[in-house]
Amino acid sequence: MIQIAHLQLQNNIILAPMAGISDLPYRMIMKSFGPALVYTEMVSANGLIRAGKRTRQLLRSAPEERPLGIQLFGDDPAVLAEATAMVQGDGELVDLNLGCPVTKVVRSGAGSAMLRDPLKVGRAVAAMRRASALPLTVKIRSGWDSQSVNFLEVGRIAEAEGADALILHPRTRAQGFGGKADWGQIRELKKALNLPVIGSGDVFTAQDAQAMLEQTGCDGVMIGRGGYGNPWLIRDCLALQQGESLPAPGAAQRLEVALRHLQWFQEIFGPRKTVRDMRKHLCWYSRGLAGAAGFRTRINHAETLEEMNAATREFFSAAADEQQGAA
């Protein structure tokens, strides 16, 4: 269990904020497997205060996913503070994104670009702290590049200015997602701060989560890419903490979750976006099953929800029959 300011979390497994992925239906699916906290995709502070309708849409939530962390990005402390005040009623926690490596975001001075200006980080955290009583987390990378690794400095500044927890993805901006996340840096940050530290990076199995907790002393583990098509990872992480190991999901279980995901996505976003955005999720659910390559082709060519539904039912049902036959 972790305590972030007054927010008591039920366990130490947390769903990562992921642009283009951690939308409401995804969070609801993942939440049903037990993480203590889920985060929104990153939300533009500038977009929010301009009352952008599309930006506000990212704040749509449902009671069953709470507590919800709302992640903001921006480059202007005053704008970040105003956005923080605006989202007070939309979640239980606010996070500042200081890690996004995407060129468009970095050019605007936000995301990982802020790591190059620790004083500005301090002003942003202080301003957000003053703007709201919600718990405040700050998510960082190791630094801008290998010449400017400054996660300890940024972490200390964030702590001094009122952050309630730090999240570290221990790669520099220049690294993108290459190489391995340097968990040693999570350990260093945990040692340097009095705040809870959450580790993020390369947790693909329950054993990885356990190893990160043990090797770094971090308080919580974030699940990002490892959760693609595999919400069972969260259940497995929690089970392993109780000394249990659960069987991998069969095709029938995958079908049930994939259909639920498809259904919720469609109810929330409508058919057009569903056909476009659910392709990747359905392909991820099929990973490792016989005939997955053919299924991917079919899904990527599906143009209607009906086609998508039919392809999903057919593929996973056939895989389930095959598994039953083999058993």
Which one, 122 or 170, has the nearer CB to ligand FMN? Answer: 170
- Shortest reach from residue 290's CB to ligand FMN, in Å: 27
- Shortest reach from residue 153's CB to ligand FMN, in Å: 19
Q: Which amino acid is at 135?
A: P
- Which distant-in-sequence residues (6+ apart) come within 8 Å of 117 by Cβ? none
- Using CB under 6 A as the criterion, which residues of the chain lie in contact with ligand FMN when the complex forms? 16-21, 41-42, 71, 97, 99-100, 139, 169, 200-203, 224-226
Q: What angle separates helix 271-286 from helix 251-269, to the nearest 10 degrees?
A: 160
Which one, 73 or 295, has the nearer CB to ligand FMN? Answer: 73
User: What is the C-alpha separation between 79 and 180, in angstroms, rounded?
Assistant: 34
User: What is the C-alpha separation between 153 and 189, in angstroms, rounded?
Assistant: 10
Does the annotation count 283 as an active-site position? no
- Shortest reach from residue 313's CB to ligand FMN, in Å: 28
Asked if residues 14 and 38 have their Cβ atoms less than 8 Å apart, the reply is yes
- Shortest reach from residue 42's CB to ligand FMN, in Å: 3
Q: Where are the beta strands (DSSP E) in the chain?
A: 3-4, 7-8, 13-15, 37-44, 68-73, 93-98, 136-141, 165-169, 197-200, 220-223
3-state secondary structure of 112: helix
Which one, 42 or 186, has the nearer CB to ligand FMN? Answer: 42
- Shortest reach from residue 221's CB to ligand FMN, in Å: 9
Q: What is the CA radius of gyration of the chain?
A: 20
Q: What angle separates helix 251-269 from helix 305-326, to the nearest 10 degrees?
A: 170
Nearest residue to ligand FMN by CB is: 224
Tokens 């923080």 identify what position?
84
Which one, 77 or 224, has the nearer CB to ligand FMN? Answer: 224
- Shortest reach from residue 19's CB to ligand FMN, in Å: 4
User: What is the C-alpha separation between 139 and 212, in angstroms, rounded?
Assistant: 17
Closest CA to 265 of 15, 17, 28, 48: 28
Which one, 97 or 286, has the nearer CB to ligand FMN? Answer: 97
- Which distant-in-sequence residues (6+ apart) come within 8 Å of 165 by Cβ? 2, 4, 135, 137, 138, 195, 196, 197, 198, 219
Two tokens at 232? 């069972």
Catalytic residues: 100
